[in-house]
Amino acid sequence: MATWRELFPHATPTEWGDWRWQQRNALATAEELARVVRLTDEERRGLQLAQGRFRVAVTPYYASLMDPDHPSCPVRMQSIPSPRELVPGPGDLEDPLGEESRRPVPAVVHRYRDRALFLVGDRCAVYCRHCTRRRLTLAGVDGFDRHAMDEGIAYVRQHPEVRDVIVSGGDPLVLSDARLEELLAGLRAIRHVEILRLATRAPVTCPMRITEALAAMLRRFAPLFAITHFNHPRECTPEARQACERLVDHGVPVENQTVLLRGVNSSARILLDLNQRLLTFRVRPYYLHQGDLAAGTAHLRTPLEAGVAILEQMRGRTSGLAIPHLAVDLPGGLGKVTLSPDYRIPPPAGDGDLAGTWFRSHRGEPSFYPEPPSGDCTCPYEEVYYAARAEPREGAPETA
């Protein structure tokens, strides 16, 4: 495989390591991408159809990870548009998560009672072909300006039930440090906001964005979690490791959300490899997302049972730390549910009268778990503890 110096001979090492240079020099046309890979007729057709319809941009760094010979390369499949993006799929939705009806101001989506999503814009360093917010990146209108930011912060301030804010977009790390710091400072100044999360694919697509200055700035807003998005072991480069470890070294925990993509990572072997590598980066595998019903992504979605089968193959072959939750974000904005293999089995003949449940191990061995003598799960000290803290007992999160 060619090195970046061979692929981009006019770039100096200083330029290559500059995230601004990476964003300014993103590849977007067939002519530009053909300097990196041997485009197929289908890829050329996809790029042609994308003009005026879909955004295309691939940082030189991420493009350098592409296999030049194989169109089934996972980086190519995530970056280069396919003609199949124009083929309607069953259940396709422009707004698969029902965000627009729960968007009280342009910058905020408020789906869950105690959490809010803060949208910083519609721009990304790389436009993923499986993006769930394609309606925003297709629009070509950056709605994030000072007024939108101030209006969004005011909304969060006026809603004391919001304790957790996820800053997303687009990708927040296309913003300058100064602009991002201004936003985070405004949110952190709100007393009832306990947790901040920053959703970004920069460690994967433009790891040079994670500078010492950025990591130190993010640390000042702790507790703040970085949520990133590795989908394949090919993305686990030394540069990506350095970016993740820099965040962790500065006290910013990093968690990963993988999207299950047909033909990209729809294999237990690939996901085992990916998640075990991420743990060595000190990144915790968090969610394995079933593909959302975003219009134009049906060719990348897997059957629900495929994800459950993959989890079953992973169980027993690796540490539980490397096994994410398989999540389905229900259409219409009804929230996430998680799926997992069912290890319960019918009781064998002559089981007897002892109350309990029969299970199978990951190897298929039966095992009996008896019920305890009492089913009373009351916590006697609960009311005393919360009365002393003068805090109301929280109910289950609501989707509203």
Q: Catalytic residue numbers? A: 111-112, 115, 124, 128, 131, 133, 292, 329, 336
The strands making up 366-370's β-sheet, listed across from edge to edge, are 344-345, 356-360, 366-370
The verdict on whether omega for the bond into residue 13 sits within 30 degrees of 0, i.e. cis, is no
Total residues belonging to the chain:
400
Token pair listed for 338: 């998680």
Say how far apart CA 16 and CA 18 lie, in whole Å: 6
Contact (CB, 8 A) for 95 and 64: no
Closest to 49 in 3D by CA, of 88, 76, 85, 77: 85
Enumerate the H helices of 1-91 as residue ranges.
Answer: 4-7, 13-16, 19-24, 30-33, 41-50, 60-63, 74-79
Q: What count of other Cβ atoms lies within 10 Å of the Cβ of residue 352?
A: 9
3-state secondary structure of 110: strand
Half-sphere exposure of 293 (CA within 13 A, CB side): 17
Closest to 272 in 3D by CA, of 312, 229, 328: 312
